[in-house]
């Protein structure tokens, strides 16, 4: 029987609901991915449906991808960038970065919905300098065939190579597939594992049915195999797992607990760099 995870719902306030899939008790990570949130869909009425005040990260890269709506990203590198559907924001925290995320009203979109993931950096790159990359829809490699659109958001797969800077071998993709499309059978290498998340619609994989909120897991050297039962939207993620255990606390990821403790102290003492235009920040959890 194929293994899978089911996201659990969390209300972040003002009825802004997310589904958190990673980390899970059954599996803490998929490849280098240690965190997976599906946020929304929520109706956009005021444009202030999502307000995430300034907060820090270390030891990871965050990727934001939207299905609907607009989010403004600001960070301590003085980057201010709106992200829209079919675009990606890649933020490498490394030794430490602070950012905020706020939804924005745009009459083109009636809802806000998207995916945010975290990738743990390799041990020797956990404390590299922070950086930010934004990729437009035109910069993202796309593979199309009857009833299938495959957008490679990061890494390399199916002969495509993303322009996003990655620090370990990985796969990250957005998939649109129609019910009429042929079944999919993509073979992973002996070093790669993967997860296939159902954002919209429903699929069948190895005789089991999966609906919104489920992530099907595929072991190293097996095949990502599925058929759409409805017109569906999926996220494929994975790659080579990192060998060392990761400690996670709040927004901090590291192979060393003492690095986490130092980051907690830095935030408590307001020693992280500041985000322009952001006067409020999220306090350290107690």
Q: In terms of C-beta density within 10 A (0-12 exposed, 13-18 middle, 19 or more buried), how is residue 211 classed?
A: middle
Q: Considering only 149-158, 194-203, 276-285, which range has the smallest mean pLDDT? A: 276-285
pLDDT at 15: 63
Q: Work out the average pLDDT over 81-92.
A: 98
- Please check if 57 is assigned to a binding site: yes
- Please check if 55 is assigned to a binding site: yes
Q: Work out the average pLDDT over 47-74.
A: 96
Q: Work out the average pLDDT over 205-218.
A: 97
* pLDDT band (50, 70, 90) for residue 17: confident
What is each CA distance from 84 to 37, 104, 195, 207, in whole angstroms?
A: 17, 10, 24, 36
Q: What is the DSSP string of 8-40?
A: EEEE-STT-EEEEEES-SS-S-BTTEEEEEEEE
pTM equals 0.96
- Please check if 99 is assigned to a binding site: yes
Q: What percent of the chain lies above the pLDDT cut of 70? A: 98
Domain 4-239: give its CATH architecture: Sandwich (2.60)
pLDDT at 1: 57
Q: What is the tens place of the pLDDT at every residue in 96-142? A: 999 999 999 999 999 999 999 999 999 999 999 999 999 999 999 99
Task: Share the mean pLDDT of the chain.
Answer: 96
* pLDDT band (50, 70, 90) for residue 10: confident
* pLDDT band (50, 70, 90) for residue 13: low
The answer to whether residue 67 scores a pLDDT higher than 70 is: yes
Closest CA to 278 of 62, 34, 28, 97: 97
Euclidean distance between CA atoms 26 and 78, whole angstroms: 38
pLDDT at 11: 77
The answer to whether residue 14 scores a pLDDT higher than 80 is: no
């Amino acid at each position: 029987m194929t293994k899978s995870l089911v996201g659990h719902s969390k209300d972040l306030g003002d009825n802004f609901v997310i589904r958190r899939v990673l980390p899970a008790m059954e599996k803490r990570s998929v490849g280098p991915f240690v965190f997976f949130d599906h946020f929304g869909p929520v109706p956009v009425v005021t444009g202030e449906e999502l307000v995430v005040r300034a907060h820090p990260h270390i030891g990871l890269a965050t990727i934001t991808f939207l299905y609907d709506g607009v989010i403004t990203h600001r960070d301590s590198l003085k980057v201010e960038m709106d992200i829209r559907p079919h675009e990606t924001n890649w933020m490498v925290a490394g030794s430490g970065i602070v950012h905020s995320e706020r939804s924005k009203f745009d009459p083109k979109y009636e809802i806000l919905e998207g995916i945010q993931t975290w990738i743990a950096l390799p041990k020797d790159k956990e404390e590299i300098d922070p950086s930010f990359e934004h990729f437009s829809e035109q910069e993202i490699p796309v593979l199309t065939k009857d009833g299938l659109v495959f957008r490679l958001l990061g890494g390399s797969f199916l002969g495509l190579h993303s322009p996003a800077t990655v620090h370990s071998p990985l796969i990250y993709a957005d998939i649109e597939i129609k019910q009429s499309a042929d079944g999919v059978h993509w073979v992973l290498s002996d070093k790669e594992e993967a997860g296939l998340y159902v954002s919209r619609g429903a699929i069948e994989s190895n005789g089991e049915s999966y609906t919104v909120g489920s992530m099907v897991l595929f072991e190293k050297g097996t095949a990502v195999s599925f058929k759409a039962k409805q017109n569906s939207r999926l996220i494929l993620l994975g790659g080579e797992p990192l060998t060392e255990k990761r400690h996670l606390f709040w927004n901090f990821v590291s192979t060393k607990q003492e690095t986490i403790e130092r980051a907690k102290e830095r935030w408590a003492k307001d020693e992280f760099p500041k985000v322009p235009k952001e006067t409020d920040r999220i306090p350290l959890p107690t």
